[in-house]
Amino acid sequence: MALILLTNDDGVRAPGLAALAGALVALGRVVIVAPEQDNSAASHSLTMRRPLHVREIDANSYAIDGTPADCVMIGVKKVLAERPALVVSGINPGPNLGDDINYSGTVSAAREGTLLGIPSLAVSLVAANGEPCQYAVAAEEAAQLAALVLKDGLPPDTLFNINVPNLPAAELKGRRYTRQGRRLYDNAIQETFDPWGRRHYWIGGGTPRWSEEPETDVQTVLAAYVSVTPLHLDMTNHRALQGLVEG
């Protein structure tokens, strides 16, 4: 029976986490090690200036007062008695497409699993704020991909970033393997004033501008396909490196 470590960046009580746990249990033993609180946009940060506390909820569920990357590192090295066969992070109730990947705690948890040499998946649902989430659909898609990865593995130093359109299963057109696109935001920093007239800035929101390049994660989900992007740990621009060395 495969041991699967499940985490997220939205907190141990998040509905997406529960939906994913329910779908993955058919593949093996699922152990949740997730943040105590919401850690959205935490990226790959680690907590290094204070100790971390692990709270056991039950035999297969633990909460840590830290980041998603903390949860994977401590889960693998300290909480679990054996090495997991798979790390799955999600379901995030919003997209992790294009530039969002750089900030995502969901993706970074899967990246930490990959750094530890464990096949890892990040799962997100492309839902707008306030829109009902099709968690069961995304969980089933994730479970199918998890089964494939458990069977066939992943290329070295590679994780899958999965984005599922927020649609009923009957409206999904299929699954495509994609490359990372661009998803930029206009007016993403809001300027506000407190009651004493002091100026403050709030990062978040804004109007997204979607990449129109074909075969990207962005265009794939807009076309009602599930996007699966293989992300690599090596961020070197090899073409640029070759040009610099040869030049």
Does residue 117 lie within any of the structural domains?
A: yes
Residue 52 scores a pLDDT above 80: yes
Q: What average pLDDT score do residues 141-166 get?
A: 98
53 burial level (CB within 10 Å; 0-12, 13-18, 19+): exposed
Tell me how many domains the chain contains.
1
32 confidence band (pLDDT: 50, 70, 90): very high
CA distances from 22 to 91, 101, 189 (A): 12, 26, 38
Does residue 73 lie within any of the structural domains?
A: yes
Average pLDDT, the chain: 93
- Choose between 156 and 183: higher pLDDT: 156
CATH number at residue 134: 3.40.1210.10
Does residue 195 lie within any of the structural domains?
A: no
Sole residue written with tokens 């590192």:
73
The per-residue pLDDT for 247 is 79
Residue 155 scores a pLDDT above 80: yes
CA distances from 81 to 1, 52, 66, 124, 208 (A): 14, 19, 21, 28, 43
Q: What average pLDDT score do residues 194-217 get?
A: 81
206 confidence band (pLDDT: 50, 70, 90): low
Does residue 197 lie within any of the structural domains?
A: no
Does residue 38 lie within any of the structural domains?
A: yes
Does residue 176 lie within any of the structural domains?
A: yes
Does residue 234 lie within any of the structural domains?
A: yes
Residue 75 scores a pLDDT above 90: yes
The residue segments making up the domain with residue 230 are: 2-184+213-246
- Choose between 202 and 150: higher pLDDT: 150
- Tokens standing for residue 231: 């992300």
Q: What is the pLDDT of residues 220-231, one digit of tens each?
A: 999 999 999 999
Least confident piece of the model among 40-44, 62-66, 168-172, 173-177: 40-44
Q: What average pLDDT score do residues 91-114 get?
A: 95
The per-residue pLDDT for 212 is 78
According to DSSP, the β-strands at 61-64 and 226-232 are unpaired
Does residue 198 lie within any of the structural domains?
A: no
The per-residue pLDDT for 49 is 92
The per-residue pLDDT for 219 is 94
Query: At residue 6, what are phi and psi to the nearest 5 degrees?
Result: -115, 135
